[in-house]
Amino acid sequence: MKMIIAIVQSKDSNRLRKAFANNHIQMTQLSTTGGFLREGNATFLIGIEDERVQDVLDIIKKNAKSREQYVTSQMHMDVEGGSAFPVNVQIGGATVFVMPVEQFHKF
Amino acid sequence: MKMIIAIVQSKDSNRLRKAFANNHIQMTQLSTTGGFLREGNATFLIGIEDERVQDVLDIIKKNAKSREQYVTSQMHMDVEGGSAFPVNVQIGGATVFVMPVEQFHKF
Amino acid sequence: MKMIIAIVQSKDSNRLRKAFANNHIQMTQLSTTGGFLREGNATFLIGIEDERVQDVLDIIKKNAKSREQYVTSQMHMDVEGGSAFPVNVQIGGATVFVMPVEQFHKF
Ligand code: NI
Ligand code: NI
Ligand code: NI
C-alpha cells in the first residue's frame, strides 16, 4: 500500500476526478487555500495498492501533465491599433509524491 | 512517531472527534471536497507516538467502523398502496493509513 | 525528497507563507476545520529536497515558534474598581513532521 499526494492545476481537477472514478481509484480531494506559488491548484490524496501505483501515475500524467496550448491573444498597441495572434502558453502540470504506508486498515 | 490518516463517514466524525479529545489525542480535520466515491467523508490527520498507535486504531474502530443498522423504509408502490418495513443498511466504515515519520519537532 | 507537514497557529500563517515565498519554497496550505484541541491552526504541506529540509525547519521555527508575549490585561473587580497590568502569555507554536518520499514526479 502507498499514499500518493498529487497537486495539479485546478483546471485539470474535474477531468482527473472522472478518470480516477472510471478506473475505480478511490481518492479524497483536499480543500486548499492558495499559497503564494500554489494559486489555483487542487490536491488529491490516493491510498493505493503497490501494484496499481504506476496506473495512478499514468492517469495523472495523461490528464494533468504540463502541455502547450495556443491561445489567441489580443494585444492593443498605442501606435498602430490592435492585432490578434496565437500565443503558445504552458498549461497544466502535476507534482506527485509517492509515500510509504506501514499499516493499512479497513474497519 | 507515526502519522495516521483516517477517512471516515461524515456521520461518525463528531463522535470520533469527541473520542479523540477524551483520550487526549491531538488531530487535525482536513476539509475535503467530495470525490466521486468519497461523498460525505471526513479526513483526520493524527501525529502520534508509536506506543499509542494501537489506541488510536481502537478508537477509530470503536467509533466509526462499518456496521449494520435497521432503518424503517417507507416504500410507496403504485399498485397496492404503501408499506413500511425495516431494512438492514450498512453505515459507517473507516479507511486508515499508518505512515512513518522520520523527524518530529515542536517549536 | 521529503514531505513536511507543519501545523502552526493561524496568527503566524501569513508571516510563514511570506517567508516560504521569499525563500522559493513551494507549499500547499490545507483548509482545516477545528478539532477540539486544534482551534485556530493552519496546516502546510511542503514537498522538499533532502538538502533543504533544515532550511524549511529553520524558517518554521523562526516564524511560528512558541514564545511569550506581554499583553495588557484589564481586570474589572467587583470590590475596588478595575486595574490594568501586563500579563505574560504564550503564543505561537509549531508541530512539524518530516516524512519519507519514495517517488517524486513532475509531469
Ligand atoms: Ni468499471
Ligand atoms: Ni483526561
Ligand atoms: Ni529570489
pLDDT digits (tens, 9 = 90+) for B80-92: 555 667 788 888 8
The C-alpha angle with vertex A45 and arms to B105 and A105, in degrees rounded to 5, equals 80
The better pLDDT of the pair C71, A36 is held by: C71
* Dihedral (Cα; A35, A37, A41, A46), 10-degree rounding: -80
List the CATH number of the domain containing B35.
3.30.70.120
**Which one, of A72, A75, A57, A74, lies nearest residue A19 by Cα?**
A57
Count of domains observed in chain A: 1
In-domain check, residue A107: no
Does residue C105 fall inside a structural domain?
Answer: no
Cβ–Cβ gap A99/C1 under 8 Å:
no
- Residue C106 placed within a domain: no
Determine contact, residues C16/C60, Cβ cutoff 8 Å. Answer: yes
How far B105 CA sits from the closest chain A CA (Å)? 20
Any domain includes A52:
yes
Residue with cell 525563500: C23
Would you say residue B85 lies in a domain? no
Predicted pLDDT of residue C78: 57
Residue with the larger pLDDT of the pair B37 and B24: B24
Chains A and C: how many Cβ contacts under 8 Å? 81
Cβ atoms of A102 and B4 within 8 Å: the answer is: no
- A105 domain residue, yes or no: no
Q: In the complex, which subunits touch A with 3 or more CB pairs below 8 angstroms? A: B, C
A7 band by pLDDT with thresholds 50, 70 and 90? very high
Contact predicate A102/C6, CB 8 Å: no
Which is more confidently placed, A92 or A83?
A92
Q: Which of residues 2-61 of B touch A (CB under 8 A)?
A: 2, 5, 7, 30-38, 41, 43, 53, 57, 60-61
Q: Quick check: B97 contacting A, CB < 8 Å? A: yes
Q: What is the ipTM of this complex?
A: 0.83
Q: Supply the pTM of this predicted model.
A: 0.84
Domain of C27? 2-100
CA of B29 to the centre of ligand 2 (A): 21
What residue in B sits closest to A104 (Cα-Cα)?
B97
Specify if B76 maps to a domain.
Answer: no
Question: Is C94 inside any structural domain?
Answer: yes
